[in-house]
């Protein structure tokens, strides 16, 4: 083909536009806030007996407490556990509760001494008898409350 036509073709060819360089995503992700309950797991010291049990309880449910009492306080040596045995609660210095079946100890300690069967603050682990008391605590007096 004649050079003039070739020149015309070249000049009429569209000039390629530069390919836009993709902008890297530089949006910083907010720092992940660990919830206080994970940083400060609620650990309740066992107060059963004469204060020699220094085990921190992590299961405050009636079943968990019963398991702990069976394993550490009513061992098969001398003072074995028996669901129908009756005895006094030995939690803390003084407990007003009447004699009860051993199988009731866990529920009793959970409900009376730990209030773990009630509402529980997810941040500090404190127990509350009512949901509105817990809500007020979380809004005000909880030591781990978020600002």
Which residues sit at the interface with Zn ion, rule CB under 5 A? Answer: 46, 48, 53, 72, 89, 91, 95, 97, 121, 123-124, 126, 142
Q: Provide, rounded to whole angstroms, the least separation between the CB of residue 37 and Zn ion.
A: 9
How many other C-beta atoms are found inside a 10 Å radius of the C-beta of residue 110?
22
**What residue spans of 61-130 are helical by DSSP H?**
62-68, 105-108
> What are the tokens at 101?
């079946």
d(CA 21, CA 4) in angstroms, rounded, equals: 36
Name which of 8 and 85 has its Cβ closer to Zn ion: 85
| Cβ 120 to Zn ion shortest distance, Å | 9
Complex with Zn ion: residue 82 or 107, whichever CB lies closer: 107
Q: How far is the CB of 26 from Zn ion (least distance, A)?
A: 38
Query: CB-wise, 35 or 83, nearer to Zn ion?
Result: 35
How distant, in Å, are the alpha carbons of 58, 78, 85, 135 from that of 39?
14, 40, 40, 21
């Amino acid at each position: 083909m004649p050079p003039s036509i070739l020149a015309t073709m070249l000049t009429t060819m569209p000039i390629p536009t530069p390919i836009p360089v993709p902008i890297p995503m530089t949006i910083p992700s907010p720092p992940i806030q660990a919830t206080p309950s994970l940083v400060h797991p609620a650990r309740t010291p066992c107060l059963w007996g004469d204060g020699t049990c220094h085990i921190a309880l992590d299961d405050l449910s009636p079943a968990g407490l019963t398991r702990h009492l069976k394993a550490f306080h009513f061992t098969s040596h001398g003072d074995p556990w028996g669901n129908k045995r009756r005895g006094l609660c030995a939690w803390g210095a003084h407990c007003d509760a009447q004699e009860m079946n051993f199988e009731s100890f866990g529920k009793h300690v959970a409900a009376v001494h730990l209030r773990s069967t009630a509402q529980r603050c997810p941040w500090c682990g404190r127990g509350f008898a009512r949901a509105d008391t817990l809500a007020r605590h979380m809004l005000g007096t909880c030591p781990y409350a978020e600002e």
